[in-house]
Amino acid sequence: MVNVRNLPDQELFYGHKACQGCGAATAARLVLKITGERTFLAYPASCISTVSTIYLQMAFAVPSLTMAFPATGAVLSGMAAAVKAKKLENVTVLGIAGDGGTADIGLQALSGAVERGDKILYVCYDNEAYMNTGVQRSSLTPYGAWTTTTPIGENEDSFGKRKFKKNLFEIMMAHRIPYCATASVSYPVDFLNKIEKAKDTDGPSFIHVMAPCPTGWGFPSDRTIEIGRLAVETGLWYLAEYENNKVKMNLVPKTFKPVEEYLKKQKRFKHLTDEHIAIIEKHRDEEWATMGQRYGF
Amino acid sequence: MVKSTGLKRRDFISANDAVAYGVKLCRPEVIAAYPITPQTTVVEKLSEFIENKEMACEYLNVESEHSVMSAVMGASLMGCRTFTATSSQGLLYMCEMLHYVSGSRFPIVMMNANRTVAAPWNIFGDHRDSLAMRDSGWMQVYVENGQEALDTIIQAYKLAENPKVLTPVMVCLDGFVLTHTYELVDIPDQSAVDAFLPPFVTENKLDLAKPKSLCITAPPEWQTEFRYQQYEAMKEAKKLIPGIDKEFAAHFGRSHGGLIEEYRCEDAEYVLMAMGSVVGTSRLVVDKLREEGLKVGLVKVRFYRPFPKEELASIGSKVKAVGVIDRDISFGYEGALYADVKAALYNSQGTCPRTINFIAGLSGRDITKENLEMMYRKLIKAAQGQAEEEIQFVGLRWEQW
């Protein structure tokens, strides 16, 4: 078990150019604390590559590479095959990719890698849009969120994204992946322990970690952890694990905080009407009811 | 059912099988593949070798060609020798990754079964797929038969992995005409190949002992320098290719001509230049016309990138007319090979022999001996001053050829 006392001091991701309060950079830093020096890391074109490896400044202290946007899963497979071919032991083949690079353009390669059962650890940091190109809609952007490609226009029904988030956790579970979890950078101990479990999984493992983005979401950069906590406390994000064909909820709030508390702190939701907020709340309640029945809590 | 793949020293096999034997002899450590006609039997054969323990290699069945090239790149950047094969739409689907591989200098060897690209959809061969990848930073070599295919795979690793080159190679075989045609092929001994091709050792890899980031982002201040290095690597490759062919000949007793191969060009006045399997048929036509006393010759353009500019220019300076056979067409201009050849033939005085571009063999249409004979006769007439269209589609249904 990882806790605050035994957490390694060693930093393997530093000197990068991420925005202040970047949830993705926090996620990457925490992941590497657990996987350690014996990590081979790949990441696609994304915020993480842009802030870490622009020649000559290299921010990862482990062997790493930038991959094509759709290719993270596949390059990890190739690296894992090389680990077998070269008979390397006690190493982690790690992928860190954003929501677009995972749930949209990268989904085919991720699905392929998981289906093959390759021994890789894939972490999707979810900042709920294409942040690297300047806040465009992805399939993990939430309902009602403003992005530059779901702008608030003159249309009467213009209120940001018209669809709810795709459920990536369930997509990965459908692969019968050996280990799969959701996490949040705002719950670091939970996250760190999930990384440790994933790292020791014999086969593919996947963690979907919520990583709030001050720039894209529109909140002060010292509020990242608070925003992430509110997402969980309002029931708009959940912490769960899937292993041995069972889902375990790591945290089930007794009562949910009103979703306004989360939404109204962010510029991307500030245009939402009470009607929209009611739709979001209703959707949340339905989702939790379905999960409760399905996973038995 | 996996059949035994025991091989004889000399065997009656398809060019696809020849490629598979060539790859096996090079001892790759990781192969990733996705099936596409007419490449498929190569990757089937390799998976058989591995299942039969005739080869110690990791084999990945990957879900798309884009992922194939990503996976072999993943293995290559860990320092493994890798192989894959593709064709046509598959090659186009990989396009993005071809640039990642060449720009990051991973010496991957890939076989491409040349097949036209849709639409109209068609599984038969021409060169429009690989020529569309001309500027991907990969070397491209076009072979004439199964023996050359096997031998070129071995040469390709030698070339790609040279530390001064570190550039991937695409070995191109005409779909069906070569890939599915059986012929007697000499299969070298493993020990002979081991003596020619040492294990792959590189500094350009992810290494726990020396952590570094590869395939990084380069800003405008540095990008040109990276490109210049790729340019220099291709120049270096061009210098090395003839030597590798000579060294191969010393080990195996066979030569395929380095950058180009000339056939009866010594005193030739009318020369056809072409790539791939059509060269074989053309040799017969040259022999026939030589018997008639016509001074004809043939140039096999083996490497398309790096391009044998000086070699072709030297031939061009001695002849009256040059015809270029393109199994492709760059719409809005002319055949891709022709454009490059013509540019090479112009000397500093601004003169050039008469040239004609023959667009032939598109989407698997046969290029017959009669077609080739007609090309030579047109060249002769053109050299005598007769008007000839510069770009000619050979054997169009509504024209007499």
Provide DSSP, A60-101.
BSS-EEEE-TT-HHHHHHHHHHHHHHTT--S-EEEEEEEHII
Strands B139-142 and B303-305, how do they pair? antiparallel
Could you say which residues from 219 to 278 on chain A have a Cβ atom under 8 Å away from some Cβ of chain B? none
In this structure, what token pair is assigned to residue B96? 């993005």
- So what's the pLDDT on residue B399? 72
Query: Could B208 and A73 be called an inter-chain contact, meaning their C-beta atoms sit closer than 8 Å?
Result: no
The predicted-structure confidence for A81-132, as pLDDT tens digits, reads as follows 999 999 999 999 999 999 999 999 999 999 999 999 999 999 999 999 999 9
In this structure, what token pair is assigned to residue B292? 């008639």
Looking at residue B60, what DSSP letter applies?
E
A90 touches chain B (CB under 8 A): no
Write down how long chain A is: 297
Strands A121-126 and B260-263, how do they pair? unpaired
Residue whose entry in the numeric block shows the structure tokens 């990781």: B30
The predicted-structure confidence for A28-84, as pLDDT tens digits, reads as follows 999 999 999 999 999 999 999 999 999 988 999 999 999 999 999 999 999 999 999
Residue (of A39, A29, A83, A28) closest to A63 by Cα position: A39
Query: Could A82 and B218 be called an inter-chain contact, meaning their C-beta atoms sit closer than 8 Å?
Result: no
Of A55, A70, A80, the CB nearest to B217: A55
Could you say which residues from 218 to 237 on chain B have a Cβ atom under 8 Å away from some Cβ of chain A? 218-219, 222
* Degrees to nearest 5, angle at CA A244 with A241 and A246: 55
Axis-axis angle for helices A23-35, A224-233 (nearest 10): 90
Give chain B positions within 8 Å (CB) of A90.
none
Query: Could B77 and A65 be called an inter-chain contact, meaning their C-beta atoms sit closer than 8 Å?
Result: yes
Of A40, A77, A84, the CB nearest to B206: A40
Give chain A positions within 8 Å (CB) of B71.
74-75, 77-78, 81
Answer yes or no: are the C-beta atoms of B393 and B334 closer than 8 Å.
Answer: no
Residue whose entry in the numeric block shows the structure tokens 């220019």: B313
Q: How many CA atoms lie within 13 A of B251 on its CB side?
A: 20
CATH architecture assignment, domain B9-252: 3-Layer(aba) Sandwich (3.40)
How far is the alpha carbon of B215 from chain A, nearest alpha carbon, in Å?
6
Question: What is the mean predicted confidence (pLDDT) over A227-251?
Answer: 97
CA A201 – CA A178 distance, rounded (Å): 7
Query: Could A40 and B76 be called an inter-chain contact, meaning their C-beta atoms sit closer than 8 Å?
Result: no
- So what's the pLDDT on residue A4? 84
Could you say which residues from 38 to 57 on chain B have a Cβ atom under 8 Å away from some Cβ of chain A? 57
* Degrees to nearest 5, angle at CA B237 with B235 and B243: 125
CA B122 – CA A179 distance, rounded (Å): 43
A92 touches chain B (CB under 8 A): no
Helices and strands (H, E) in chain B, number of each type:
12, 16
Write down how long chain B is: 401
How far is the alpha carbon of A285 from chain B, nearest alpha carbon, in Å?
37
Indicate the domain borders of chain B.
Answer: 9-252, 260-393
Looking at residue B222, what DSSP letter applies?
H
- So what's the pLDDT on residue B348? 73
- So what's the pLDDT on residue B124? 97
**Could you give phi then psi for residue A284, rounded to 5 degrees?**
-55, -50
Residue whose entry in the numeric block shows the structure tokens 């639409």: B119
DSSP labels, chain A = ---TTT-----SB-S--PPTT-HHHHHHHHHHHHH-SSEEEEEETTHHHHHHEETTEE-BSS-EEEE-TT-HHHHHHHHHHHHHHTT--S-EEEEEEEHIIIIITTHHHHHHHHHHT---EEEEEE-SSBTTTTSB--TTSPTT--BTTB---SSTT--S--SPPP-HHHHHHTTT-SEEEEEETTSHHHHHHHHHHHHT-SS-EEEEEE---HHHHT--TT-HHHHHHHHHHTTSS--EEEETTEEEES---SSPPPTHHHHTTSGGGTT--HHHHHHHHHHHHHHHHHHHHHHT-
H helix runs in B321-368, sequence order: 336-345
Domains of chain A with CATH codes: 23-295 (3.40.50.970)
Could you say which residues from 102 to 131 on chain A have a Cβ atom under 8 Å away from some Cβ of chain B? 108-109, 111-112, 115-116
Query: Could A78 and B219 be called an inter-chain contact, meaning their C-beta atoms sit closer than 8 Å?
Result: no
Amino acid identity at A173: M
Query: Could B74 and A42 be called an inter-chain contact, meaning their C-beta atoms sit closer than 8 Å?
Result: yes
Query: Could B74 and A111 be called an inter-chain contact, meaning their C-beta atoms sit closer than 8 Å?
Result: no
Proportion of chain B in helix, strand, coil states, percent, rounded to 5:
40, 20, 40
B62 touches chain A (CB under 8 A): yes
Query: Could A66 and B216 be called an inter-chain contact, meaning their C-beta atoms sit closer than 8 Å?
Result: yes
CA A144 – CA A269 distance, rounded (Å): 7
- So what's the pLDDT on residue B400? 61
CA B380 – CA A201 distance, rounded (Å): 72
A86 touches chain B (CB under 8 A): yes
* Minimum CA–CA partner of A88 in chain B: B208
For residue B351, the tally of other CB atoms under 10 A from its CB is 10
Return left, alpha or beta for A144; rule: phi > 0 is left, psi -120 to 50 is alpha, else beta. Answer: left
Query: Could B61 and A116 be called an inter-chain contact, meaning their C-beta atoms sit closer than 8 Å?
Result: yes
Query: Could B215 and A65 be called an inter-chain contact, meaning their C-beta atoms sit closer than 8 Å?
Result: yes
B154 touches chain A (CB under 8 A): no
A37 touches chain B (CB under 8 A): yes
Answer yes or no: are the C-beta atoms of B14 and B146 closer than 8 Å.
Answer: yes
CA B115 – CA B98 distance, rounded (Å): 18
User: Does the N-terminal peptide bond of residue A214 adopt cis geometry, omega within 30 degrees of 0?
Assistant: no
Query: Could B206 and A64 be called an inter-chain contact, meaning their C-beta atoms sit closer than 8 Å?
Result: yes
Give chain A positions within 8 Å (CB) of B216.
53-55, 58, 65-66
Residue (of B350, B282, B272, B367) closest to B312 by Cα position: B272
Tell me if the domain spanning B260-393 has CATH number 3.40.50.920: yes
Answer yes or no: are the C-beta atoms of B115 and B126 closer than 8 Å.
Answer: yes
Query: Could A85 and B60 be called an inter-chain contact, meaning their C-beta atoms sit closer than 8 Å?
Result: no
Answer yes or no: are the C-beta atoms of A150 and A160 closer than 8 Å.
Answer: yes
Residue (of B139, B159, B200, B185) closest to B19 by Cα position: B185
Of A70, A77, A86, the CB nearest to B74: A77
CA A192 – CA A181 distance, rounded (Å): 11
Of B212, B215, B219, the CB nearest to A66: B215
Query: Could A40 and B78 be called an inter-chain contact, meaning their C-beta atoms sit closer than 8 Å?
Result: yes
Give chain B positions within 8 Å (CB) of A62.
211
CA A204 – CA A111 distance, rounded (Å): 10
In whole angstroms, what separates CA B164 from the centre of its chain? 21
B319 touches chain A (CB under 8 A): no
H helix runs in B298-400, sequence order: 309-316, 336-345, 369-383
Give chain B positions within 8 Å (CB) of A116.
60-62
Count of pairs with CB atoms under 8 A, one residue in A, one in B = 153
Q: pLDDT digit of tens for each residue in chain B (401 aa)?
A: 445 455 568 899 999 999 999 999 999 999 999 999 999 999 999 999 999 999 999 999 999 999 999 999 999 999 999 999 999 999 999 999 999 999 999 999 999 999 999 999 999 999 999 999 999 999 999 999 999 999 999 999 999 999 999 999 999 999 999 999 999 999 999 999 999 999 999 999 999 999 999 999 999 999 999 999 999 999 999 999 999 999 999 999 999 999 999 999 999 999 999 999 999 999 999 999 999 999 999 999 999 999 999 999 999 999 999 999 999 999 999 999 999 999 999 977 778 899 999 999 999 999 999 999 999 999 999 999 999 999 999 989 887 66
H/E/C letters for each residue in B144-167?
CCHHHHHHHHHHHHHHHCCCCCCC
Query: Could A64 and B218 be called an inter-chain contact, meaning their C-beta atoms sit closer than 8 Å?
Result: no
Query: Could B60 and A78 be called an inter-chain contact, meaning their C-beta atoms sit closer than 8 Å?
Result: yes
B78 touches chain A (CB under 8 A): yes
CA B77 – CA B214 distance, rounded (Å): 8
In whole angstroms, what separates CA B362 from the centre of its chain? 17
A74 touches chain B (CB under 8 A): yes
> What Å distances lie between residue B292 and A98, A191, B267, B268, CA to CA?
70, 83, 15, 14
In this structure, what token pair is assigned to residue B320? 């009256």
Instruction: Judge if B9-252 and B260-393 fold alike in CATH terms.
Output: yes
Could you say which residues from 40 to 69 on chain A have a Cβ atom under 8 Å away from some Cβ of chain B? 40, 42, 49-50, 52-56, 58, 60-68
